[in-house]
Amino acid sequence: MRFTDLLLVPVVAVAAAFAVAPEAAAVSAPRLLVNQDFPDPDVVKTAWGYYAFSTGTKTTRIPIATATAPEGPWRVGGDALAAVPAWAKADGGFWAPDVTQLGNGTFVLYFAAAQTAGGEMCLGAATSAKVAGPYTPAGDRPLVCEPADHGDIDPQTFVDADGSRYLLYKSDGAPTGPPAAIWAQKLQADGRTLAGPRTELLRSDLAGEKSVVEAPSVVKTASRYLLFYSADTFESTGYHTGYASAPTLGGAFVKADNPFLSTTLLGGKVDAPGGADVVDGHIYFHGWLGGGRTARGLYELPITFPGDAPQLG
């Protein structure tokens, strides 16, 4: 998801507080880039081409895809994560990766995994000298693992204009406690040390979200911050991508009135579009393939920001 490291081309974006989603008829057909299971995509533009990372499969911890152009062709092959972290279950899966580059040139891979003690999802980090890896797990403990969150997933980095680095992520919440929410936590320059308290950016508070907000991704303009997020349960056709805007990363974020990507808005061309990542004038997202619930492919659409609001091309 995602976004603004030294190798990424900045994308200028903003959402007005009362922005509305585009009409389905005005949206071109999404381009299917990876016609196999490749969910929760994170796309990175580098001097050597484009790299994408996804939630793991039964045989690959963190799959990689590469392309010389944003529209492809994309080739899937390789495993970015060199080993299972000491704190994580080997068979618990590795979810929703994010790759960013530090000021010293080191690449950091963030991911969610189930911890061996208790099995709840926590966030970890791994490092590599190369964008494609292999990434070596850093430390013997998770980077983020808040017991009151009942699971932390979907890490996403954001580097602000002043160079401040942040980690965004989702807390799962619980039926008898706080709802699912999206947080921002400042990081030190090493990308693996938390700095100061975290800030809640938004939470699940709309009926159509079905108690789920997740998969954060931030885009910034000179005066606004735009937060894309997914909502509803991921297996539902109602799973969709929304956005909210704020004058600062700390908020207060105001949600747009309508979804930005949904099965209906895309004319049924993509089933349950979510996990969005905005890079270099393109929005990448996943959707169910073949009318079933066994694999989610990688899709792309052009995105622009006329009038400081996102618009699909």
Residue ranges of domains in the chain: 24-312
207-249, pLDDT tens digit by residue? Answer: 999 999 999 999 987 788 999 999 999 999 999 999 999 999 9
Q: What distance in Å separates the CA atoms of residue 313 and residue 301, rounded to the nearest whole number?
A: 7
pLDDT on residue 25? 41
**Could you check whether the bond before residue 247 is cis, i.e. omega within 30 degrees of 0?**
no
pLDDT on residue 27? 67
51-92, pLDDT tens digit by residue? Answer: 999 999 999 999 999 999 999 999 999 999 999 999 999 999
228: alpha, beta or left, given left = phi > 0 and alpha = psi -120 to 50?
A: beta
Q: Residues 6 or more apart from 268 whose CB is under 8 A from it? A: none
* C-alpha 157 chain-centroid distance: 9
The mean per-residue pLDDT over the stretch 33-55 comes to 97
Is residue 168 within 8 A of residue 251, CB to CB? The reply is no
pLDDT on residue 4? 38
24-312 — its CATH code?
Answer: 2.115.10.20
The mean per-residue pLDDT over the stretch 122-143 comes to 97
Reading the block at residue 165, the tokens are: 């680095």
Residue appearing with tokens 């009409």: 23
Q: Name the pLDDT band for 307 (thresholds 50, 70, 90).
A: confident
**Of 148-152, 220-224, 237-241, 294-298, which range is least confident?**
220-224
Q: What distance in Å separates the CA atoms of residue 131 and residue 51, rounded to the nearest whole number?
A: 8
Q: Residues 6 or more apart from 86 whose CB is under 8 A from it? A: 137, 140
Alpha-carbon torsion 210, 215, 220, 225, what sign?
A: positive
Is residue 118 within 8 A of residue 143, CB to CB? The reply is no
Helix (H) or strand (E) holding 154: strand 152-159
Q: What distance in Å separates the CA atoms of residue 37 and residue 51, rounded to the nearest whole number?
A: 16
**Of 5-14, 40-49, 105-114, 209-218, which range is least confident?**
5-14
In the predicted structure, residue 184 carries a pLDDT above the cut 60 = yes
In the predicted structure, residue 188 carries a pLDDT above the cut 80 = yes
pLDDT on residue 296? 98
- 298 bridge partner residues: 34, 286
Average pLDDT score, the chain: 90
